Amino acid sequence: MISDGQMVFPNHEAAEKFIKTTLVKTITKINLKWNNTRIDPLTPDMALMASGFHEDLTDNKDVITKCDGYFTALVQKTGKGWQLRDAHWSIKH
C-alpha cells in the first residue's frame, strides 16, 4: 500500500499488524465516505477501482482529523470476497 508516493505497508500482513497493534489504540472512530467512484472491470475476477474520499478520524482524545484525497487499487475476487491489491492513496494538502 502506497500513500503519497511512499510505501506504507509492503503486504496485507503488515497492514493487519499495524491495525491490530497501533491503530486500534489511537483511533476510536473512522468515518469514510467515497465519492465519484469508478469501477472498471478487467476480467470476471479483477477490476480497477478509483475514487475520491473524505475521512474523519477521531482519536482517543476525541480530536477529529479531517482529510480528503483520492484512492486507486486493483481489486481481486477471492474465496473470501473482493480484496484490494496494489492500493494507493494521496491526500489533498
Span 19-29, pLDDT tens digits? 999 999 999 99
Domain span including residue 87: 2-91
User: pTM here?
Assistant: 0.81
CA atoms within 13 A on the CB side of 37: 9
CATH at residue 84: 3.10.450.50
Number of folded domains in the chain? 1
36: left (phi over 0), alpha (psi -120 to 50) or beta: left
pLDDT string in tens for the chain (93-residue length): 888 888 989 888 998 999 999 999 999 999 999 999 999 999 999 999 999 999 999 999 999 999 999 999 999 999 999 999 999 999 998
